[in-house]
Each structure stands twice: as C-alpha cells, then as structure tokens.
Amino acid sequence: MNVADIRTRIQAKVGDTSGTEVTNAQILAWINDGMTELARRTNQPQGSATTATIAGTGTYSLTAFAADILRLRSVQLDGSVLQAISMEEADTYLSDRDRGSAAGGTPSMYWVWADQINLWPKPTAAGVLKLFYVKRPAAVTGDADVPGIPVHMHTDLVAYVYAQVLDSLGQGERADRHSDRWQGRAMETAADADWPQRNTYPHITVSLDDAGWL
C-alpha cells in the first residue's frame, strides 16, 4: 500500500474523493505522524548496527551507527549485553573520579544523553559495539512512496489517519472510537513483536469437568 492507496481509502471513507475537505498535504503529514507513532508503540520496524570501540574512548555518537534510531532495545559489546542505566543513575552511582578514570576496563554499563552513548568503564581495548534498535521510519513525500513500516501495519496506519481526519472534521466522538481501535491493534502488534522465539507451541489445559467430552 502506497501513499496514493491510503489517500484513496481515506477519501472514500469520508466521501471526499475530490480532496476539498481534507487536502493531500494534510493526509501526507498524518501518514508521517502515524508511522512514527506506530513505530514508537509497536517497536517496529527493527534494525541493528555496529561500530568499533576505541581504547580510552567511552563516548560515541549514535548517528555514527545509524541516522534512523528511534529507541534502543539492547546494546552489546563483543557479544556481551551491557546494562542500561539512566543519566540519573549515572550521576548517582558513578562518581566523577570513576567516570573520568584513565584506568578504564571492560564496559558493563551504558547510558544515553544528547544522542551519545556512554560506556562505563571506558574500554581499554578495541571491540565491536552492536546496537539493536527500533527504526524511525523515513518520511514519505510522494504518492508512489510506500510507508516504512511492516506491511501488516498498513491498515493500522489507515485507521490512524482516518481518526485524524474525523477529528479535523469536527467528529470527535467517531475520531475517539477509531483512535481506540488503532491503539488496540498497536498493542497487539507490540505483543506479537515481543513474543519470544520458542521451539514449542502454547498448550491448552482441559478441566476435569470437560474431560468426559474428549
């Protein structure tokens, strides 16, 4: 589904095939807003990127990895998962002397501030830092552009845009209902994305009262 397909569906829903009530520019802006909102809520699409660490350097720009990082999910150094801490925790638990220590070591923690990832302690040897992250979808600009979210989420994107259109037309109650729908679908999609890979299937437990029917 591309931008033109989404716009056609929306215009058909509101009976505005000429685009007089809702402009193409409005729909395009809502598509871009919706992609970012769905990515934020569902943790999709997903990506990974690597960079080499430098001995004695504990701070690295996130844009050195990738320009489309929306949210970090996991950080690994040479295959070992680093513990994420907040800036507040870094201020509380890591003294200025420790953070500035020239001795360094093998990083075991990281925190993010101002689009920079900070490792502690500073690495004393080169290594491979790998980020797993949620991608920020690239903005669409024309009718032929395809939204940069998984195909199974395109109908959710239509629902998002439709809710915005209804709200702009003064149909607040209908807009709220459709907003609840796409948000519910987004929660289901997020749960599916976070479902761990398993080598067994979920099972159903049958009560003793029902066993006689088997």
pTM: 0.76
d(CA 61, CA 72) in angstroms, rounded, equals 13
Residue pLDDT, tens place only, 78-94 = 999 999 999 888 888 77
Q: Do 78 and 154 fall into the same domain?
A: no
Q: Do 145 and 189 fall into the same domain?
A: yes
pLDDT at position 101: 54
pLDDT at position 100: 52
Mean pLDDT lowest for which of 19-23, 51-55, 68-72, 168-172? 19-23
Total number of domains constituting the chain:
2
pLDDT band for position 199 (cuts 50, 70, 90): very low
pLDDT at position 154: 93
Q: Do 88 and 168 fall into the same domain?
A: no
d(CA 55, CA 52) in angstroms, rounded, equals 10
d(CA 94, CA 90) in angstroms, rounded, equals 5
Of 119, 91, 118, which is closest to residue 107 (Cα–Cα)? 119
Residue 95 has pLDDT above 50, yes or no: yes
Residue pLDDT, tens place only, 124-152 = 999 999 999 999 999 999 999 999 999 98
Within 10 angstroms of residue 63's Cβ, the number of other Cβ atoms is 11
Q: Do 80 and 155 fall into the same domain?
A: no
pLDDT at position 173: 86
d(CA 2, CA 147) in angstroms, rounded, equals 7
d(CA 68, CA 179) in angstroms, rounded, equals 26
Does 26 reside within a domain? yes
Domain termination site, one of 134, 149, 165 = 134
d(CA 42, CA 38) in angstroms, rounded, equals 6
Within 10 angstroms of residue 131's Cβ, the number of other Cβ atoms is 21
Q: Do 125 and 166 fall into the same domain?
A: no
Residue pLDDT, tens place only, 24-63 = 999 999 999 999 999 999 999 999 999 999 999 999 999 8
Eight-class DSSP state of 123: B
Residue pLDDT, tens place only, 137-191 = 999 999 999 999 999 899 999 999 999 999 988 888 888 888 888 888 888 877 7
- The domain in which residue 101 lies consists of 46-134
